Structure formats: C-alpha cells, structure tokens
Chains A and B, each alone.
Chain A
Amino acid sequence: MSMLSYIVKRLLTLIPVLFGVLTITFILSRLMPGDPAYALLPLNHTHEQYLAMRRFLGIDRPIILQYFRYLADLFTGNWGASFAINRGEPVWDLIWERFPRTIELTLFSVLIASFLGIKTGIIASKHRNKWQDTTFRGFALVGVSIPVFWMGMMLQYALAYQLDWLPSGGFKDPDYGSPPHVTGFRIIDSILSGELYLTIDYLVHLIMPVTCLAFITLASITRQTRSSMLEVLQQDYIRTARAKGCKEKDVLHTHALKNALIPTVTIIGLNFGSLLGGAILTETTFTMAGMGDLLVSAIMERDIYLINGLVFFSALLFLMINLFIDILYGIIDPRIRY
C-alpha cells in the first residue's frame, strides 16, 4: 500500500512541473521569430486571407486566451500543423510516426548500457587498481569524452565502407516494406506479423547506432557504479557478511550492489536527457528518420508548431522516465517509500 501511495505522491509532484514545462514551451514558441499565418499561406495571398488565417490559428487574440487555447489543444491532441516539413500535416501524426524509432534506439541503448555498465563497474571495483580496473576506467574515460557523431562516422568507415559487414545507415533496407501496423513499433509489429526477416534486418541496422549511444552511456554508468561500489565496500556490514562466510559473489551482488545502485540509477535517469540529445546526433549521422532528425529539420525551417510539439513531447518523455526512475528507487530501497 505504501508503494501505491508513493507512486501517487510522485505523480502529484509531477503536475506543477508539467505545467511549468507547458508554460515555458508556450513562452519559447511565442518568442520565436516567424509568422505561422504567413508561412501557411501561398505566396500570392490577399490581406483578407491573411486575416482569416490568423483568426483560424487563433493568434489574433490576447496572449492569455491563446495560452488557455494552447492548453486545451494540447490535451485534446490538436498540436497544430507543420508548415515546413510536409505542409499542413498535423504535428501529432508526424511525431507519432517517428517516435517509435527513436524510442527503440534509446531503449536498446539504455538497457545494454545499464546491464554492461553495472557489470563492468562491479568488476572494476572488485579488482581495484589492477589491470581490469585500469582497462575499464580507460574505456570509460574515452567513452565520456568521445563525440557521438565522430564515433559513428569512424564505425561507419571501418565496418560499413571498408569491411562491408554492416549497413551504413537508415533503419531498414530500401527493398523491404513495413510490417502491418499494429502498434507502430517496428520490432513488435514485425514479430507479431511473423515476418522475422524484417526484425532481423531492423536489428542489423540498429547495431551500429546502438553501439555508439550505448558506449557513451556505459562510460558514465561504469564510473558511477565503480565509485559507489568502492564506497559501499568500505562499510562494516560488508565486513560482517564476509566474516559470516558469505560467498564473495553474494557479498558483491546481494549486499553491496543494492546499496550502490541508487546513485547509479540517478545517473541513468539524468543521462537520459543527454541520451535524447545523443539520439539526435546519432540519427543525423546514420540518416535514420527519427524524432531527432525531425527536430533538427524543424529548427532549421523555424517551424513553430512542430518545434513546440517536439519540445513538449521530449520534456514529457523525460519527466516520465524520471518518474519511472523514482519508482525504481522505491523498489530498490524500501526506506525511500515514505
């Protein structure tokens, strides 16, 4: 029961932050240069058409009414229409078409990075200052300082152009189609429809981008796990567990890791923001048509409604992930459930 009340309390503290995010997005979008009414009309329009378009978009009203209209629109799904990417296409459709690809890329990277990162962090803390520790710390340092796109291009050059083991970009082979639309997520759809060659093709295309993103996240997770494991291993209860005859494996995983996981989980949650940024760069490098690519095009073209929708969507995603991380705290450490 306390778990449920913890989740409810977390959701309640999310609401003011959500409104703050909405307000900031609104202010930012209204401060951006560019006139949406002018951009949505053909070049030889009359003044009456211009005024009618302004009336249609609702931008000739006072700013407070615009704000409330904006809130109402946001919650009913009418996020405006893009005027630069595909003229007149609703923003919600554009985002929802590309969002599953980005989220698959990001989720795979986070899962692989967390799993491998925690493992290497434990090994590095167990053999402190020996060769395992030095190698993993070296990799972690390089991973934190390497630019994503440069690593992507070096991988492309080595694996795709010179050795021809992996495809050099995109998220699917141009000859293959799409699986029948069940959820929109390509992996789930292709598994559900039974066409496994699509799944394998998609996974093969995802190997290089996921490697780039995961390497960078793995670096910071390894560093954090290593330092918090080192701190935990100096505690008295570890000494007690060893004195009582506990196996070293159990000492590390059962006793030490649970206490060391909390800063690590914080870092994973904080890194998700830079993961989304890294996903933007990775998608541009490997020319995968995802949400990040859309954002870059939108900002190049100053497409106000699309930028608005994407920024709000990313902030919402980030808040959801942080909520999930907070719930994960409650699962790992029962003391935090207040």
Chain B
Amino acid sequence: MTASEHRPDITVAGAGVSGTTCAVALSRHGFAVTLIDDQPDAGGQVFRAPSPYAREKIRADQERKKGDRIRKHLAASGVDHRRATRIWGLTGRFELDLLGPDGMAQLRAERLVIANGAVERFLPAPGWTTPRVIGLAGASILLRGGGTLPGRSIVLAGSGPLLFSVAHQVLALGGKVAAIVSSAGLGEWIELGTKLYRDAGRLLEATRWMAQITAARIPIHYHARISDIQNLEDGVLVTICPKDRRKSSSTVKASILAYGDGLKPTTLLSRAAGARHEYDPSGDYFKPVTDTAGRTDVTNLYVTGDAAGIEGAEASRLRGLLTAHAIALDTGRITKAGFDSLAAPALRRLQKLAAISVTMRRLMRSGHDCALAIPESTILCRCERVMASAARQAVAAGARDVNQVKAWTRCGMGPCQGRSCEDGLRQILIETGGISPQDTGIFTVRAPFFPLPLSAISGEFDYDDIPLPKAAPL
C-alpha cells in the first residue's frame, strides 16, 4: 500500500463497453480520467479482447470488430488505463484499494463512475456443483477469449440470449452442442425476434445464429429445466424435465454442461460506495437506484451500463455516453442546452431499444419458477456448502433477510461474497418466510472483494516497523 496518489478528476471502474465509452467521452470533455479494469485489455465480457490464439482461430464477428473499435478509441484518448488492476476495497469516500501488476496502491477519486457490468445468475439445481458444470458466461470467456472448447460435446441450459450466443460460439469452433434446454417457451423467443427489428445489427446476427443452430440439428427443449445432474466418469448425465408435467423427462449425456439463469447487475462496488439499491421485478434482481444518466443518491457517484440494470451491450454504450455528458453538465463544463443536444440521439435510441431490453429481461428471468422448490439436500451456497434445508431452518427460526441467514448458516460467507447463492436464498426467503423480495435485502459487502494474499498486505517488514498502538487498559 503506497501513499494515496494524486486524485484524477474522474475514476471509471470497469472497462467494458459502458465504462470505456464513458471514459473516452469524459476525456473528450476535457477531464483527466483513470479507467480501472482487471482484464489486460478493454472490452469487458461482450467485447472481450481475444487471445492471440483465439484471434487466429475464430473468424472476426461483429462483436470482435466493435471491441477492436472501442480499444482503438481508448488507445487514442488521453485516458489513463490501468490494466490488469483489481479493485479490492472501496469506501463511501471513494477511496479505492487496488492490486495491480505493480502491487498494492490506493487511489482516491473525486468522482466515481461504476461500470462493472453484469454477472451471471445461478439458480441451484440438484447436482449443480458437480465437476463438469460451468456457467454460460464462463463458457463464453473460454470460447471467445481463449478460442478453446470447454468439452467435446456440451449441453447448454438455462435462460436468456447467452444460450444461443454460446451455441453459436461452440459451433464456430467446430464443437458439438448436445442439447439446448431453455426455460422459456418458443413463443417467448419469437416475441424477442419480433422486437429485434429495432436493432438491425442484432437481428441479422440472431438470424445467422438460428440458421447455424438449425443446420446443426441441435435438439432444443423449450419450456424445460434441468432436474438432475450426475457426474459420470467421462462426462455428465443431465436430466431434462419439461415444465409441462404431462410430458416425460429425458436424459442427455455430454462432456460438459454450461448453464446460467440470465444476468444481473454486479452490485459489489455500488453497495460498497453506499448507493441505495432496490429490487427490480422486471429483472428479478437488486440494482442501484439511478436516473437515466446514472446519477445515484450519493453525491458524485454514478453507475452506468449493465451495472445499473441489464439492458444489453448497445444500451450500455449509450448509457456510458449519457453518464459522461451528465458529468460534464454536473461540473459546469457544458450547459443544460448543450447536454440536451448531446444526449438527444442517445435517448432516442435507448427508447427504441427499451422494448428489446424488457423482452430480454423477461427471457432471463424465465428460470425463476424452476427455483420454486429447491430440493432440501441441494447445495445452495457452494463456497460454504450450505444446503437449502439449512437456509429453510434459519428462516423457520426467525431469520427475515439474507444477512441474518448468512450469519446463522454461513450461506454467502465465502469468497464469492454471496454472488452465486443470493438468488436461490432470496427465493427461499420469499417462499418459506413469505417475505417480499425488497425486504429480503442484499448481502452486506466487505473488503477485500476477492481473497487477497495476506503477504500482499503485510509486505516485507521488521517487528520494529509495526506501529503498535498503546497498550489496552488492564
């Protein structure tokens, strides 16, 4: 930990599409901007920079081209891009604790833009913690960033557009998709299709994916869920259960299962910074309360892009732009009239995209009803191996919010800070305790945001260097 560095005008946390767009736009407004991201290159999840191997192996698609464009703009800007730097602590006074290639550092931001995107939601199913089960987003990182197939054959299950995006990526690398299990029905997907005319690029892309998937004759189970996952010697045996109970279950064998139940905002930083959060039924998640431009209830704190609510990559780009203009307005660099004229095109486009976002969020939460009866012996918190039954007992004993269940059962106390178990636990509080989603609350965030080597904190030292406070009273 070195002494606090000079504060830049604005610090942006997260170099995905929203954060990078925002940082570049802020720099054009004349601000000194520091952009922090844990990846070596900007682009975030959707526009992830491929490894040299992946760049050679996979034909450039639209997302690659857009990502390269963003990275080019960033490189040409005056933004101070801190690569491969993780934020492990953040206070309400915007003191950021960093761990980067040069070790520990502290940075105090005058204004902070949180743009750390989305995280995948997992609703527990029996067997979800067995080996050979990975997240859809994780699979996508491996495929797109690494140019590597996670297994010879793969079952894709869950909710949201990632199902088909990952199927496309598997096929692009010459892999085999054994089945797609969608919690949404065919009708809901068709509805998304009817909305996509508002975004020509995406419509084209989706059409191409679907053609590819149809040509590969991949079995698609609509309106179905995974009811069991067995780990075999050479793969997984997945039981697919139609939501319509009149139809019978079936099984499929594959080398690997990738599953996920849509995306939710990554709220670790916005919670640590002290912003107010509320439950959003349209996405079935908690999100920071912001206005259109990303202003929060904390002065000088902005949250933009998917971190403020899931809308997708194009909307995130526009949000990042709006936030940059809003900061220029808030600091007096531009007038209200100037803001209005800069913001108008983005606002118009966002309005057009809103119908897609709403439909997409509905698809992403279509797994919600699958979680209604998480079996007692299913692991809810994989970090601490807490079963659903333990959480239900805590609720029966009087726990009324996620933090009380955490204290009494250790659910959410592990290294992921409750990211993976929070949604399943909320479901249990709602269903067993009759508690409203808003009242189930949100996990208290604590630093470090990821496990930190103790030696990175202690560094080299002599006993005499330790500033011992005066002795406690006797």
A and B part of one assembly: no
Query: What residues make up the interface of B, taking CB atoms closer than 8 Å to A?
Result: none
Query: What residues make up the interface of A, taking CB atoms closer than 8 Å to B?
Result: none
